Amino acid sequence: MSTLITFEQLLNKRAELDKVVLVTGNFNILHPGHIRLLRFAKECGQTLIVGVNENNSESTSEHLDAKHRLEVVASLEYVDFGFINTKSSVELIDALKPWAVVKGKEYENLNNAEEAALKAYGGRLIFSSGDSGASSQSYLKTRAVKDVHVSNLNGYLERQNIDLDRVNEVIDRFSKKRVLVIGDTIVDQYMQCNAVGMSQEDPTIVVTPDESKFFLGGAGIVAGHAKSLGASEVSYFSVLGHDKQADFAETKLLEYGISPHVFFDETRPTNLKTRYRVGSKTLLRVNEVRSHDISKEIQARILSDLEAKIANADLLLFSDFNYGMLPQELVDEITTLGVKHGVVMAADSQTSSQVGDIARFKGMDFASPTEREVRVALKNDKDGLVVLGQKLTEISRCKNLLITLAEEGIFIHKPSGTSWENDRIKALAANPIDPAGAGDCLFTATTLAMTSGASIWEASFIGSVAAACQVANVGNLPIDSNRFRQAVNQFR
């Protein structure tokens, strides 16, 4: 049940509330349309505030007082705060500065006074029909008006002498790059659910499935990002099982314009991760994976195929999820080939539910581990980021290091002989919805930029903008290159 609150109390709490969505109305008789509208509104943000109008303008035979109507609305699990409203919608917006206001679809083609008030500070007006099949996430994916917080750069462009015209020239050069990606394929299933409540038999959250979607993830989406960002040719090397997930993965690779070099392993299924979500939150993830090393025979076939492609490649990306696709011997042999042919090489080795080791990728031009992945690789939970960065680059001989810090952004470390340089970019996402895949997008965009002549400072900016665009979507999809370009140029 939500908290009943006065408007004055709400104003005092406003600074503590994240991503506020505001709905107002009479709610004289609460019907399924109201419930669906409020559920939709809750999915749009983090905190749902509902104002029940004190003066009930609905023409009905039963006139219910505001206190009773508020109690009924507040009984819904979607509502975080409810109050009796005596103000106009514009007055509420000016005072509360909500992230969004949600209204019924019937108001969409009318004159809405809220629109100008919201536009003044970057808020948004969203309309919903209350249809049970409507998805707030798909609405936000297509209606997002701003992907980046420009102010979060805090002088980074000036500090690093970054010129946006040159940045755009670097991005233009993506179209001349040929990329090889090797790593674990993952199929991501998103099971969107409706929250029913708590079980009465035991303390279990009860949901009902509403919609299921599949996405190509893992190293596959790294290849997808490379192609979507403009690479002229992307070749993808991976291992799949004989199953419907493999069929899906191959179909998506071809759909994204990627040249697949996939090998089938009878001893493993294609990696499948299922996320059960309610609104914008993931409640549970189920992994169906195998983590044993691929056979020597498959390793030899991969190496043979890759050797035929690497002479003409500009960039080689190791996308390691530690499910056995990249045994150390294979990594070392591929790295030797990369050095021989002068290919730019970069590595990402994930430590999440599984344990990886980014330090095992030696001599890379670039690596982008999380802070946890660095600490696991070094077995070091005490030192600060500068010391961690220097120790990792010494062990791995990595030329440029970017440590990702989730919602805190990134830390950039460039070793130079006995000294080093560091800087930081705060997280730029203005509309974060789903963090899954942000690191893959940042990794791909940053390495493509470096291969296209960017400095580590320019490339880190480009990668940060790409990641901000990516987290505004639900599920792993190749980045929208036009949206990415627009976001880059918001910093002018």
Which has the closest alpha carbon to 433: 17, 16, 22, 43?
43
* Predicted local confidence at residue 140, as pLDDT: 44
What is 3-134's CATH number? 3.40.50.620
Average confidence (pLDDT) over 2-14: 89
Q: Rounded to an integer, what distance in angstroms lies between the CA atom of residue 428 and that of residue 152?
A: 6
Q: Residue 209: what pLDDT?
A: 85
CA angle 274/279/282 to nearest 5° reads 35
Alpha helices in 97-192 (DSSP H): 114-119, 136-143, 156-159, 164-172
Tell which residue, 265, 316, 253, has the closest CA to residue 291: 265
pLDDT of residue 59: 46
Residue 130 has pLDDT above 90, yes or no: no
User: Which has the higher per-residue pLDDT, 37 or 262?
Assistant: 262
Q: What pLDDT sits at residue 148? A: 85
pLDDT tens track for 301-341: 999 999 999 999 999 999 999 999 999 999 999 999 999 99
How far the first Cα of the chain sits from its last, in Å, is 46
437-456 pLDDT tens trace: 789 999 999 999 999 999 99
Cβ proximity of 358 and 328 under 8 Å: no
SS3 340: helix
3-134 and 150-186+221-272+290-491 in the same fold? no
* Confidence (pLDDT) at 131: 54
The answer to pTM > 0.85 is no
CATH class, 150-186+221-272+290-491 region: alpha beta
pLDDT bin (cut points 50, 70, 90) of residue 63 is: low
What distances in angstroms separate CA 371 from CA 368, 377, 392, one per listed residue?
Answer: 9, 10, 11
> Of 393 and 35, which is predicted with more confidence?
393
The bridge status of strand 401-404 relative to strand 410-416 is: antiparallel
Percent of the chain with pLDDT over 70: 94
Residue 231 CA: distances (Å) to CA of 181, 272, 447: 12, 27, 12
Q: What is the pLDDT of residue 129?
A: 66
CA-CA distances (angstroms) from residue 185 to 217, 251, 292? 6, 13, 14
* Residue type, position 150, single letter: V
Model confidence at 156, in pLDDT bands (50, 70, 90)? very high
pLDDT at 203: 78
Residue ranges per structural domain of the chain: 3-134, 150-186+221-272+290-491
With 60 as the cut, is the pLDDT of residue 1 above it?
Answer: no
CB–CB of 450/412 below 8 Å? no
Residue 144 pLDDT class (50, 70, 90 cuts): very low
One-character DSSP codes across 12-29: HHGGG--SEEEEEE--SS
Please report, to the nearest 10 degrees, the dihedral formed by the alpha carbons of residues 104, 106, 109, 110 taken in order. -80
Name the residue among 37, 31, 18, 195 with its Cα closest to residue 98.
18
